[in-house]
A and B are shown apart, each in its own frame.
Chain A
Amino acid sequence: MLAELEQIKTDALSAIEAIADESALEEARVGFLGKKGRLTAASAGMRDVPREQKKDVGQKLNEVRTAITEALEEKGAGLTAVRDAAAFASIDPTLPARSLPKGGLHPLTHVLNEAVSVLRRMGFALAEGPEIETEWHCFDALNTPEDHPARNESDTFYFENGKLLRTHTSSVQIRTMEKEVPPVRIIAPGSAFRRDEIDATHLSAFHQLEGLYVDKNVSLADLKGTLEYFFREIFGSKTEVRFRPHFFPFTEPSFEVDLKLHATGKAAKWIEIAGCGIVDPAVFSEVSKQRGDAAYDPSEISGFAFGMGLDRLAMIMYGIPDLRLLIENDVRFLGQFS
């Protein structure tokens, strides 16, 4: 009996050793350990084993069963590993990616988002106004003389009802002051329109960012601190900023802001980037007339305003040479900013 068991073990182990696939493994399991398997059949012979040998034969039986079971498991694990490896063997990880669709925001949106996020940290809230404006909001309230060239039909888009497409976002200053009382601290990004033929440096519709701060005792020092901080956040803390005297009808004193910037490989030069100034008291007077109250009494409050062209900012920040690229929306262009 013991010899028979030993023989079964030897046969089983060599048979398992030779197995090459999982179905043969299952056959072997059934052939040795199944209901009609050899070991099962042999164990039925326990009945006839003399009593004093039962213990030894029983132990042998267990030993053989354990050995065959372990061999089967080991072989099984080996075969699974081979199958797993085979399943991934044909994969070439160096193939190009299975593409996810590529998308992204317009460069102007990037510039706008960056500017807005800096200004919001500085405590400015957003404001908006209509793009189809009245002449009063766009010009009169902003102290623009009646025969100012900007009011010309050759420079500004008009509608039959006398309204116009706002030529600057400064009209949002007026819209805001009509509704809100000081202190006011707003920024207004948006479209503006001028009757310009489209070329590399002109668009008939472009984007501006307007800012307005009205409170008691607002001075040029506040304006300077605000814009210097803003531009250094955008262009780097060491950026040189200069304020050049200029003229706008709705601010007095007025300045243009230049930054010293350099395009790659070129010497740094002053680049005009924004207009700003102390709100002209005439603007407050006009707003007060419209409101019919003293909330914007120019002898009590003062303010500063600034405005910049976002298209121009995008040109400078990304080195875009031609404004028309911004309205062409070629996806090869748009893809450079995602």
Chain B
Amino acid sequence: MNVSLKWLSDHVDFSEYSMSELDDLLTFTGIEVEGIQSLPDHVVVAEVLSSEGHPDADKLSVCQVDDGSGTPRQIVCGAKNYQVGDKVALALPGCVLDGGDGKTFEIKEGKLRGVESLGMMCAAAEIGLTDDADGLLILSPDLKPGTPLSEVYPAVFELEITPNRPDCLSHLGVARELAALAGKPLRGSAHHGNSKTPAREAKSDEIQISTESCPYYTARVIRGVKVGESPSWLKEKLESIGLRPINNVVDITNYVLMEMGHPLHAFDMARLDGGIHVRAAAAGEEFLALDGETYALTAEDMVIADGSRAVAIGGVMGGDDSGVTEATTDILIESAYFVPSAIRRTARRLNLHSDSSYRFERGADPHQVNGASDLAVQWILELAGGTAESEIVTCGGVPAPPVSVELDNDYVRSVIGAEITNEEISSILKSLGMEEGSGEWKMPSYRLDLPRAVDLVEEVARVYGLDKVPANQKSWFSAASKADVSFDFASKIQSHLSSLGFFEARNLKLISEAQLADDVATSHRGMSPVRLKNPLNDEQDYLRPGIVPGLLATAGRNVRFGNPDLRLFEMGRVFTATPKGGEVEHEHLALLMTGAKAPRSWASGKVNGKPENVDIHDLRAVLEAFCPAGLNLVPVDDDRMLCACSIEIGSGKKSAKLGLAGIVSPARARELDLEAPVMVAEINLKKLAAATNADLTYAELPKFPGSSRDVAMVVPADLAAGEVAAFLEAHEEPLLQSVELFDVFQDPSGEKLPADKKSLAYSITYRSPDRTLEAAEVENAHLKLLDSLKSGLHVDFR
């Protein structure tokens, strides 16, 4: 909301405050200052002394203006809406104006179509006053030429009022708050609401209410008004806060809105067919509003109707064909109280937000309905003439009277944690317009937000300020929670992976339907992905069931940025839906490796002059580095990846399955601009943590030397090394200590080895914990192993 300093000064004297002090004062009231608007420098009031046609341009005129300097100034102008003698806004050379789109332009002395022009006469929009760009801004005739325009329209605060404070949505409301905080008196009344006009209950053909959305409606008729331009003080007031003046009647309703925060509406009596009926809209009823749009209404909306049609969407916007125009002579001023939730529902559904709906949906003061009407009528009579009916016609009743709240001052002190005296508490609450009773406080009608004692504590704390409250430090020992344990586990892996050369990515958890196909997570076999009901777009309509899809997109993006060599990891939540309609959330870890093993350099390994690419064995090395001992990659049937392997700790039935690793299908990788092979792995962190044995125990170091024997075996080319490893692991030989695969050889040409065979060479170590082995013992054990390999796996030895 825009609030003019000059307007505020109608209510409180802030003359000794600087702008930044006022800014602070507002801030500590709880009102956020989002910006301070002031008019550009070098814009002054000027009087048009003469205006003649431009010799070479039909649409331009050449004017002499009085800028207060004593010497007439020549200005070339394209506008037509002024007359000689008018006061206009003149931007002098050196003035910097906003050109839109964040650009500025400076006014310079120059020639327009050959005629010298020493400045620019401006429209309201050009100096950022209102959005009116049609013709020059015509100023009050009373202004003195040369007066800086920033004196005519002083600074305006752009304020953000929190939703609990509808009472601050007006100049009077903000002034009331500031006065309380600054300890200053309000000029005049704190409240325009006390109406002196006699009220008369409406006859059924005058006003009828048939909806609960409107508890109270009033109408006041003024006949014989003369609709015309508003006086300059009123226009300046509205312009200063960015409102475009329309005519005196409409301007007055806007003035009352901005002054008191109570929206009004003026109808042209001649365009109303009979009495007012406040009713629910008919389903499908269409309404042409004064913004020129047609709105389709439902039975949830409320309309103000006459005998034949809707003339306003209640509390939101008037109709196109019932408002006040230059031809209007008799008017009906509507002042009413509408239920906030009803207005909010309609404004939101129609996406139609007006100054009126903004206030009604936050809560207007029901006790100033009549007062707001009075203020408007008083000004209309003064500015537009006419005769008001002596009574205000009312229908329904004002809801609940102001509340009283019990307050124990000790409670105030205990919540705030400061020794505030009873006198201080009383003085603060009184300054906010509350009346003290015995142990309780009566709220002013405009404070609908304070029904409980704790709400009053907030008021005291706010005005007292946290500056004076001590800063306590208190703490105790906290036991580690489950979340602490998993946080620490995750941190360890994060730092391990970053030392291994991985960068941590953090992707959005929302992915597209197409990306679902990239998922390789195994936590959710048999479950489905979770879809949003109201996604922003179809790029982000699913919650990720795994992390790999996001990592792949990140990898593609990096390749396009020129970073083809990638080691990435990401940790975080993944989501799946259970068949019963619930959701499951897991913590996952995913890895991605692609591109060169090491950046191209004099020292890096090269194949045909190019850096060597990472392969699945590099991925395995990384997995072994942070996973517990006993890691196995067990090939599985999975058509989403090449070389898909289940990541397992241990083997056989007791193995822990952590997740899946493999090579992304090259076709899919190429779609993502990933040319080099892409290795990925996705791991369930909880399973990894469970498999990671935290209890480390010492094992005795060997005291006696071991003895090694090498064996090279020829096996079918498609026999997985893992099968041989598993076979060797299962071999029962107490002296067998370790097995190491040191060579893999294949010859596609078939010269040294049949093409369908491969050679695996192992170094096998035998050791006894309690003695040095005799050569014969080793030989014996080794021969048994070879026999077993031959009979069990049908291998040949080279």
A residues near B, CB below 8 A? 95-96, 98-106, 108-109, 113, 116, 120, 122-128, 130-132, 146-147, 149, 152-154, 157-161, 163, 165, 183, 185-186, 188, 191, 193, 195-197, 203-205, 217, 219-222, 224-226, 228-229, 242-247, 252-255, 278, 280-281, 302, 326-332, 334-335, 338
Contact = CB atoms under 8 A, between A and B. Distances in A.
Given A105-B495, A131-B585, A163-B583, A330 B601 contact: no
Contacts of A102: 501
30 contacts: A95-B602, A101-B502, A124-B478, A125-B481, A125-B484, A131-B573, A131-B575, A132-B585, A147-B341, A152-B348, A153-B533, A157-B532, A158-B532, A159-B531, A185-B476, A219-B414, A220-B417, A221-B418, A222-B472, A224-B471, A225-B470, A244-B32, A245-B30, A252-B457, A326-B506, A328-B554, A329-B557, A330-B563, A331-B503, A332-B561
A123 B417 contact: no
B168 to A, nearest CB: 11
B699 interface: no
Contacts of B506: 106, 108-109, 326-327, 329
A221 B470 contact: yes
B501 A329 contact: no
Given A100-B501, A105-B504, A131-B585, A125 B478 contact: yes
A15 to B, nearest CB: 44
Interface residues of B, number: 88
Interface string B422-441: 00000000000000000000
Interface stretch (B102-110, B189-197, B507-515, B642-650): B507-515
B534 interface: yes
Interface string B484-497: 10010001001101
B478 A217 contact: no
A122 B479 CA distance: 12
A106 B505 contact: yes
A135 to B, nearest CB: 13
Interface string B152-176: 0000000000111100000000000
B344 interface: yes
A278 B472 contact: no
B187 interface: no
Given A105-B498, A219-B472, A204 B510 contact: yes
B535 interface: yes
Contacts of B561: 330, 332
Nearest to B563: A331
B494 A109 contact: yes
A96 B504 contact: no
B471 A103 contact: no
Interface stretch (B112-120, B130-138, B321-329, B461-469): B461-469
B458 A221 contact: no
A253 B472 contact: no
A186 to B, nearest CB: 8
A126 B503 contact: no
A106 B558 CA distance: 15
Given A103-B502, A327-B508, A334-B505, A253 B470 contact: no
B478 A123 contact: yes
A177 B581 CA distance: 26
Interface of B: 27-30, 32, 162-165, 341, 344-345, 348, 414-418, 452, 454-455, 457-458, 461-462, 466, 469-481, 483-484, 487, 491, 494-495, 497-510, 530-536, 540, 543, 554, 557-558, 561, 563, 566-568, 572-573, 575, 581, 583, 585, 598-599, 601-604
Q: Secondary structure at chain A's binding surface: helix, strand, loop or mixed?
A: mixed
A252 to B, nearest CB: 5
A335 B503 contact: yes
Contacts of B483: 125-128, 188
B522 to A, nearest CB: 20
Given A99-B598, A127-B483, A191-B509, A122 B475 contact: yes
B540 A204 contact: yes
The listed residue with most B CB atoms (<10 A of its CB), out of A100, A157, A191, A253, is A253
B28 A99 contact: no
A163 B475 CA distance: 36
B498 A103 contact: yes
Contacts of A99: 598-599, 601, 603-604
Given A203-B508, A222-B472, A229-B473, 16 more contacts: A109-B494, A157-B534, A158-B533, A165-B543, A204-B536, A204-B540, A219-B414, A221-B416, A221-B469, A222-B417, A244-B27, A246-B32, A247-B163, A252-B455, A278-B415, A338-B498
Nearest to A132: B583
B102 to A, nearest CB: 14
A216 to B, nearest CB: 10
Contacts of B585: 130-132
A3 B782 CA distance: 65
Given A96-B601, A243-B466, A330-B558, A101 B30 contact: no
Contacts of B461: 220, 245, 253
A245 B497 contact: no
Given A161-B581, A204-B510, A126 B497 contact: no
Contacts of B417: 219-222, 224
Question: What are the 9 A-B residue pairs with the smallest beta carbon separation, nearest first?
Answer: A101-B501, A219-B417, A221-B417, A245-B30, A247-B162, A253-B458, A123-B475, A126-B483, A225-B471
Nearest to B502: A103
A100 B601 CA distance: 11
B510 A332 contact: no
B533 A159 contact: yes
A105 B509 CA distance: 18
Contacts of B501: 100-103
A147 B602 CA distance: 66
B536 A195 contact: yes
A113 B509 CA distance: 21
A166 B417 CA distance: 32
B786 to A, nearest CB: 41
